[in-house]
Structure 1
Amino acid sequence: MPASPPPYALIFDMDGVLIDNTAYQAKAFQLLFREHGLTTNARQLLKRLNGMPATTVLKTVFRHPVPPKQLEEYAAQREFLYRVLYWDKRRETPGLSGFLAAARAAGFRIALGTGSAPETISYILDHLNLRRFFDVVVGKDDVKNGKPHADTFRVAAHKLGVPPERCVVFEDALLGEQAAYRAGMRVVAVSSGLRPEQFQAPLRVVKDFTEITPAQVRELLAQHPETPKPSKEMAKRHYMKL
């Protein structure tokens, strides 16, 4: 008998996907910028660079070189501000738990692939009791290079034991979408911070998880078997100069 194909896998970004927190992330950055006399618009900055480590985002806004240790301190300040602002606002994206439960019942393997540190992951997953849905959790400490590099999603797929072509990434950020394509995966976009037309080539764009089912994900995979190539133009526009 021929061997059965490996399962499909779903890999989820965290910020802007499991939770709709982009506005609070932006406000935390804006407060930090104000503290240091910077006039950068945090909302506009995150539209381009959301998904990158905070230290990388911060490096782009200073006109002078900042030592890595200082960037880490600034990132820790931003993280503290974000947690204070978001503390009482932590809610899962509508329909998420139901979708994850249905996906597990349908035989999907499930991973989290985020650029966040372990304590930040716990701040969301454990507070919202979401960790139970994930077979694998991959964060900042598990990879050498964060998004837009492919490492986060490749490591998640490897730990799941599922080949990239059978993985679907749920992403809200342009750089996360590019990372998925670099990893040889397809994408369902979550439009928590961007307009649908701003993404490159997702299988589908949803506002939240009430708009899609695991069965529809399977149908989309069958209908679109090819993985898009990362856009060189988008790369140049969003992160080539970093």
Structure 2
Amino acid sequence: MPNASDYALIFDMDGVLIDNTAYQARAFQLLFREHSLTTNARRLLERLNGMPATNILKTVFRHPVPEKELKKYADQREFLYRVLYWNKRREAAGLTKFLTAARAAGFKIGLGTASPPETIEYIIDHLNLRHLFDTITGKADVERGKPHADTFTVAAKQLSVPPERCIVFEDAVLGEQAAYKAGMRCICLSTSVKASKFQNPMKVIKDFTEIAPQDVLNMIEQYPKAPKPDKQTAQRQYAKL
């Protein structure tokens, strides 16, 4: 049986620690309406969730948009999201109990998100979760966001755990791909997309009431290697953003 102290668990934030995808989509939809765009935000996030907002926005406009302007639109979307989600902030069911038990078992715990520091604070500190994480890796710590592997490889370095001993918790298809590119195994949450959309996770859960640290150790033994990234997904144009 694997020893938990030899492994790390790395958690995405949106859609994993919190079930906020509907509010993210609503914020995008309001922004699109402002710019007379007809894109369906929920369907868009099913494909691109996990990427930085500026990269998501690049795929929506039919004409090139300067980076400075994309940043302004992303900031507008962030403001809309915070207003919509302000009174709804709550952790995923069973999260604190699971994180506390995982730490007690010996796992190192990291956060790996595409969000900037102020957004991390908006969630993590409001919910009083920071003390449960050994390291926090966000947008400010990496050059390239998901679906690139950077977020998770940097998190592994910060945790001083090799990638092959890191288990990622993700809710996004591109986040799962980023984990595999980093050489990590993945457990997925079905908060943003259907379980059938994921490539090859060790397990798909609804929330953290459906899993315990011992289950993770059992799966590490059952799935000894990370899958290779799906070539079709990895070669899509948006993966180059």
Q: Which residue is 2:170 aligned to? A: 171
Matched, 1:58 2:57: yes
SS at match of 2:111: strand
Counterpart residue number, 1:224: 223
SS of structure 1 residue aligned to 2:208: coil
Which residue is 2:24 aligned to? Answer: 25
**Are 2:73 and 1:74 equivalent residues in the alignment?**
yes
Runs of 4+ in 1 over 4 A off after TM superposition: none
- Contact 1:49–1:238 (8 Å) recurs in 2: no
Render the CA deviation track for 1:65-85: whole Å, top value 9, x for unaligned.
100000000000000000000
Deviation at 1:239, TM superposition (A): 2.9
**SS across alignment from 1:156:** helix
Give runs of aligned pairs for residues 188-227 of structure 1, distance below 5 A.
Answer: 188-227=187-226
Report the AA paired with residue 227 of structure 2. P
- Counterpart Cα distance in 2 of 1:136 and 1:7: 16
What is the number of equivalent residue pairs in this alignment?
A: 239
Aligned: 1:88 with 2:87: yes
Deviating more after overlay: 229-238 vs 196-205 = 229-238
Distance 1:238 1:22 in 2: 23
Aligned to 1:235: 234
SS at match of 1:10: strand
> What's the counterpart of residue 10 of structure 1?
9
Residue in 1 that maps onto 2:140: 141
CA distances 1:36-78 after superposition (whole Å, capped 9, x unpaired): 0000000000000000000000011001110000000000000
CA distance in 2, matches of 1:79, 1:165: 34
Query: Structure 2 vs 1, CA of residues 134 and 240 (structure 1 numbering), >3 Å: closer, same or farther?
Result: closer
* Alpha-carbon distance, 1:7 to partner: 1.6
Q: Deviations over 1:84-114 (max 9, x none)?
A: 0000000100000000000000000000000
3-state DSSP class of the match of 2:38?
A: coil
Q: Hey, what's the Cα distance between the residues in 2 that align with 1:156 and 1:19?
A: 20
TM-score, with normalisation over the residues of structure 2? Answer: 0.97
Partner of 1:119: 118
